Structure 1
Amino acid sequence: MEATETADRTAGGRGRRQGYATGDARRARILNIALQEFGENGYRGTSLARIAERAELTQAGLLHHFRSKQDLLTAVLDLRDRMDGERLDLADHADGAEGALAALVDLVAHNARQPGLVQLFTVLTGEAVTTDHPAHGWAQERYRVLTTSLTTSFRNGVESGEIRPDVDPAVCARQVLAMMDGLQLQWLLEPEDVDMAAVFGDYVRGFLAQIRA
C-alpha cells in the first residue's frame, strides 16, 4: 500500500512537470506568433483569433495563457526586450561617449540579423505616439532610459576631456538615436539597398571625429 502511494505521488509529480513543460512550450509558441503578427499588422490590426488559429488553439485556449490582447502585447514587448540583448545597458559604458557608441554599433549590427524584432519595434513605436495606445508608456520609458543613459555617457566624456566642452550631451544623444531609428526604417523598406550596420558605423566614426576634444 505504501509503495503504491509513493508510486502514485511520483507519477503525479511527473505529470505536473510534463504539464508545466507543455504549457511553457505553448506559451512560447503563442508569443513568437504574436511577435510576428504585431510586427506585420500593428496592435490594432492584429487579431487574437488569427493568433489562436496559427497556434492551433481556440481563442479561449489562448486567453487561458494571456488574459487579454493587451496582456499579450505586454508579454511580446518583454520578449522583444530580452531578445534585444536583455535591453541595451549603456550604464556599462557610462565613462565616456566612445564606449557607449560602440555598444550602439554592436546593437545595430545585431538588429540587422533580427528583421522581425526591428519591424515589431518600428510598427508599434509608430502606433504608440497616441496616448491611448497600450504600448505608449513602454515607448516613452524606452526612449527616456536610452536618452538619459546616452546623455550621461556624453556628459562624462565632456568632463573627462574626451569630448569638446561646447558639445551639448542631450542634443548629441537625441541625434544618435534619431539616426538609429531613421536607418532602421529605411532598412525595413529597402533591405537590399541599405546596409544598416555599415552606414551606422560610418556615421558614428564621423560623429566622434566632429565632437572629440
Structure 2
Amino acid sequence: MTDSPEPSGERAGYRRSAKSPRGEARRRELLDKVADELGTNGLVDFSLRRAARAAGTTHKVLLYHFDGPEDLLTQAVLQLRERRIDRAVVAAGEGDGRSLADRVHSMWPTLIGTESWVLDQAIGLAMYDAGRYADLARSASRQYLPALLSLCPEDWDEQRKTEVAELILATLRGFLIEWRTSGDAAGIEAGFAALVRALDREEQM
C-alpha cells in the first residue's frame, strides 16, 4: 500500500469541520465509493490515489476525512463486511419457525458470495502484517458476533448465546478458509452436517 498522510499537526485546522453533519455525510459518501472499488478490484496495490480516482476526488480530500491510507482501507473493509453481514442476517431470517442450524446454514451462500474474496484478503493481510493491520481481523469478531447472537433463541441466557455464537463463528471461519484454499464443497457440506447436528442437540437441551 502506498501514499503517506501529511503530518497531523499541519492538518489539524484544515480538518476542523470533518466531524460536522455535512462532513460526516461527505465521509460516508466517499467511503461507499471506495468500498465499491475495493469490492471489485481487491486490496492489492491499494493507495490513496487509486481510492481518490474511485471516489471522484483527490487524495487530499480523502486525507481531510480519513487518518491516512491505512485508516481508509480499514474503514472500507468494515463497510464491505457490514454489507455482507446485513445480507447474511436477511437470509438467515427468511422463513419463520426455522431451527438455529437451518438459519446458520442459510447464511453460507452469502458468506461466499459478492465481495467475499476481498474480505478474505483483508484477513490474510492482518495475518501477514499484524503490526499494521491486526484490527482488520479483530474487528471481524466484533462485527459478526452480534449478528450470530441475534440468531440464538431468545430464552437462552447470555453466556449460552455467547458460547454458541463463538462456536458458530469459529466453525464458519474454518469453512471459509477451506472453501478459499481448496474449494472442497463436499468436505464443507460434511462439516456443515456435523455443525447442524451439534446445534440441533444444543437447541433440544
Instruction: Give the TM-score, by structure 1 length.
Output: 0.54
CA-based RMSD:
4.5
Alignment correspondent of 1:30: 34
Deviation of 1:82 (Å): 2.3
Q: Which amino acid aligns with 1:105?
A: H
Deviation of 1:198 (Å): 3.4
- 1:10-21 to structure 2, matched below 5 A, reads none
1:175 aligns with 2:167: yes
Q: Can you give the 5+ residue segments of structure 2 that lack an aligned partner in the other structure?
A: 1-28
Alignment correspondent of 2:4: none
For the pair shown, which has the larger CA radius of gyration, 1 or 2?
Answer: 1
Deviation of 1:47 (Å): 2.5
Distance (whole Å) between structure 1 residues aligned to residue 64 and residue 155 of structure 2? 45
CA contact (8 A) 1:108 1:200 kept: no
Alignment correspondent of 2:177: 185
CA contact (8 A) 1:118 1:184 kept: no
CA spacing shift, 1:92–1:40, aligned 2, 3 Å: same
Deviation of 1:182 (Å): 0.4
Alignment correspondent of 2:107: 107
CA contact (8 A) 1:105 1:201 kept: yes
1:122 aligns with 2:154: no
Q: Can you give the 5+ residue segments of structure 1 that lack an aligned partner in the other structure?
A: 1-23, 159-167
Instruction: Give the TM-score, by structure 2 length.
Output: 0.55
Q: Which amino acid aligns with 1:188?
A: R
CA contact (8 A) 1:52 1:58 kept: yes
Alignment correspondent of 2:19: none
